[in-house]
Amino acid sequence: MPRPTVHEPHDPHHRIDPHHPRPTPSPTPPALATLFPGHDRTSTLARRVDWAATPVGDPDGWPPELTAAVRTLLPATVPMLLCWGEDLVQLHNDAFRELCGPEDLDVMGRRAADACSPAWAALGARVRRVLAEGVAVHEDALPLVLDRHGRPEQVFWCCSVSPVRSAVGGVLGVLVVVTDVTALARERSRSAELEELVDEQGRHVTEAETRADHLAVALRSNRTIGMAIGVLMARRRLPAEAAFELLRRMSTTRNRKLRDLAETVVHTGDLPVLDDRPASRPR
């Protein structure tokens, strides 16, 4: 479908060439002046659109639901996009135009099928779903890529996509309300990356602490055993090898850990029993 015809604006300072006179532009119809009264760029663009050539037709015949929706979204400072009818003819406010950048300046009055913009590529499926099912949908951080500063930029939108209903409840169009949450999404992403890095470092620290604890236990055990051997060497007048063998045999016969038995020797000054014979069995 061709783009809607746009009326040329009247320039009061333009000097008419008598050899090449320009046609006098037709004045803005009262309906357009009433529906799009603002002086912003989008309102000016909307007044220049030949709405009679679009699927929504001449504004004089627009249903009250459409005129009410237009009068709601156009002066709003929150970015809004209205998609009307089965053809999803697009109307938006100046805040939405600024949010999208130069790519979406020419979608006013155009059908969704003719609007090949990144914004519509991201929103289209959701708008059609709401039109078909009549159930609102919401996106906390919808990702899309826009060319807003002369280069592709990934942005994130918080979107509320809601049906616009008739007096009897039928779905006539879809209203999209958008908030740019790019900065918040990027901050959350950085926070998540930082948390993951901290968790990873924490795991490394925990592993190192665990290894250090095990090493400390081993060192403490070895020192205790060494001290116990020294006690037995002095108490029993034994060489080191014999003292360790005595301690080992006692650990086996009494079914006690060598470290625990060594601690007992260090604290009491001798083995629990004065000889190294196994405990006698009951008759």
pLDDT confidence of residue 275 = 47
Q: Which two tokens stand for residue 273?
A: 């029993």
- For 188-268, the fitting CATH number among 1.10.760.10, 2.60.40.1190, 3.90.330.10, 1.10.10.10 is 1.10.10.10
pLDDT confidence of residue 251 = 85
* β-bridge partners, 156: 143
Secondary element (H or E) of residue 173 = strand 171-180
**Cβ atoms of residues 93 and 100 within 8 Å:** no
Q: Which two tokens stand for residue 28?
A: 């803005």
CATH class, range 30-180: alpha beta
101 conformational bin, left if phi > 0, alpha if psi -120 to 50, beta if neither: left
**Cβ atoms of residues 174 and 131 within 8 Å:** yes
pLDDT confidence of residue 39 = 86
**Cβ atoms of residues 130 and 161 within 8 Å:** yes
Residue 246 DSSP symbol: H
Residue 8 DSSP symbol: P
Residue-range domain boundaries for the chain = 30-180, 188-268
Among candidate residues 98, 101, 78, the one with its CA nearest the CA of residue 177: 78
Q: Which two tokens stand for residue 253?
A: 């016969």
- 181-197 b/e with 16+ CB inside 10 Å = b? beeebeeeeeeeeeeee
pLDDT confidence of residue 12 = 44
Q: In this structure, which amino acid lies at residue 53?
A: A
pLDDT confidence of residue 239 = 86
**Cβ atoms of residues 146 and 119 within 8 Å:** yes
Q: What does the pLDDT profile of the chain (283 residues) look like in tens digits?
A: 455 554 444 444 444 444 444 433 445 667 788 888 888 888 888 888 999 999 999 999 999 999 999 999 999 999 999 999 999 999 999 999 888 875 545 688 888 877 667 788 888 899 999 999 999 999 998 888 887 667 788 888 899 999 999 989 999 999 999 999 888 877 775 666 666 766 666 676 677 666 666 556 655 667 888 888 888 888 888 888 888 888 888 888 888 888 888 888 888 888 886 444 444 444 4
Among candidate residues 58, 112, 41, the one with its CA nearest the CA of residue 81: 112
**Cβ atoms of residues 166 and 172 within 8 Å:** yes
**Cβ atoms of residues 45 and 83 within 8 Å:** no
